[in-house]
Amino acid sequence: MSGIIAFDLGASSGRALLGRLNGGKIEVEELHRFPNDPVQVGDRLHWDILRLYHEIKQGLLKAKHLGVTPASIGIDSWAVDFGLIGRNGELIANPYHYRDRHTEGAMESLLAKVPASVIFGRTGIQFLSFNTIFQLYAMKEAHAPQLKEGSRLLMIPDLLRYFLTGHMHNEFTNATTTQLYNPIDGRWDPELLKQLDLPASWFGDPLKPGDQAGVLRASVCEELGIPPIPVCAVAEHDTGSAVVAVPATDRAFAYLSCGTWSLMGTEVDKPVINETAQKLNFTNEGGAYGTYRLLKNIMGLWILQECRREWEREGHSYSFAELVKLAEQAEAFESFIEPDDATFLAPGNMPSRIENYCRSTGQRPPTTHGQIVRCIMESLALKYRYVLEMTERLSGHKFGGLHMVGGGIQNTLLCQWTANAIGKPVWAGPAEGSAIGNLAVQWIAQGVFSDIWEARRAIRDSFPITTYEPEEGQAWSEAYGRFTVLTKLSQ
């Protein structure tokens, strides 16, 4: 039995999906799912990278036990975080988590030395306090000892590929998220590296999605009792893979990859790097097959996940379905938050932060769990409208609707409220967008699909798409006006 495997690592969990083709239809089977919990050590928050590597090997073992020898494997994950490899070829330290506080103040400090217009003009990447450039700057300012010993910088999928194959490669889609890669020149930006006093030797020429990255090293094959399976570079930023899986029919389409983070944008042939894009804090991340993702990060369901964790600590255990039910029962449009306010970035007591935000903006704060959940979900839906309108402005396209992919589409109420807020249809599916896009790139590399559009047709034919038509247009339009004023987005 054959097939291919996508390892899709999210900020809260990871999964190994086996992909097969049957009569032109894509079939996926979950081989392995595992938590991805960050680890607090003293004042620092880390990723448990060796546990993730262990879980990848468990996924390969489960395939073996099913009698499956995959034709290839690919890995995608979140962006910006990295590990440093020492001169002896070993990982120097566990990677920092992007929510770690070591970057506090780093963005402001670096921008006082290198103007934002220079950095954006060279990279086209939005300014987020945890971007790789600011993580490295913070480590420089703190005289982090691993910088002295480092010889290569590898993003999370790069690092895991290295463990598997013994070969160190950077990959294009994740390289662009660092805010150190120049998409116009098609290389790591030498001026920015010089400004941070970072050696160019740390950064390799990036592989493109579909390039071969090596095969499993002999020690891995011996340990697991499997053959040297090829490892394919995919669109290794998980949003890049999710966009590959958008089952669009039009060349100009808008998407929302919805999960812990929400990422909304469109696919373009060239980066949009101008004063308006910088002012709106949009980003131009590398995509598959010569494309770029003109998009904006939105805080997403992280806020709801943190509320759920806090309530569990207090002894109230809810499923997400139960939380949605509570939101349905609460009064509509009572209070709003700006999901991307910095107060909601770090882990902590999220319900209390929401209440404080509402008080500080002159609103009556939500008090019941249902009111808080409704506040979060309505605010997200309204923020989606705001970002969609900006995406249309920057791209020059008017979109007939919005494609939603990712695990967040299992929240059917959020999908419906998003349609209500934008006043356009929402087409939701597939839920495992990143993993399916990962599989698609591997199949394109093998010649199974001729290009990304043939792959998207197969995805459209293989997975159910749910359409949500807009409802209650007047009420949502009035709510949007209040939302933009209260959150100061209208300024």
| Catalytic positions | 238
Instruction: Say which amino acid occupies 142.
Output: A
End-to-end C-alpha distance for the chain, whole angstroms: 59
Neighbouring CB atoms inside 10 A of 200's CB total 12
Three-state SS across 64-126?
HHCCCCCCCEEEEECCCCEEEEECCCCECCCCECCCCHHHCCHHHHHHHHCCHHHHHHHHCCC
CA distance linking residue 375 with residue 372, whole number of Å: 5
Neighbouring CB atoms inside 10 A of 182's CB total 18
Q: What is the DSSP letter of 290?
A: T
127: nearest Cα among 269, 386, 340, 413: 340
**The residue to which tokens 């007591």 are assigned:** 349
DSSP string, 40-51: EETTEEE--HHH
**Chain Cα centroid distance, residue 172:** 15
CA-based R_g, the chain, Å: 22
Given a contact cutoff of 8 angstroms between Cβ atoms, the answer to whether 224 and 435 are in contact is no
Given a contact cutoff of 8 angstroms between Cβ atoms, the answer to whether 15 and 33 are in contact is yes
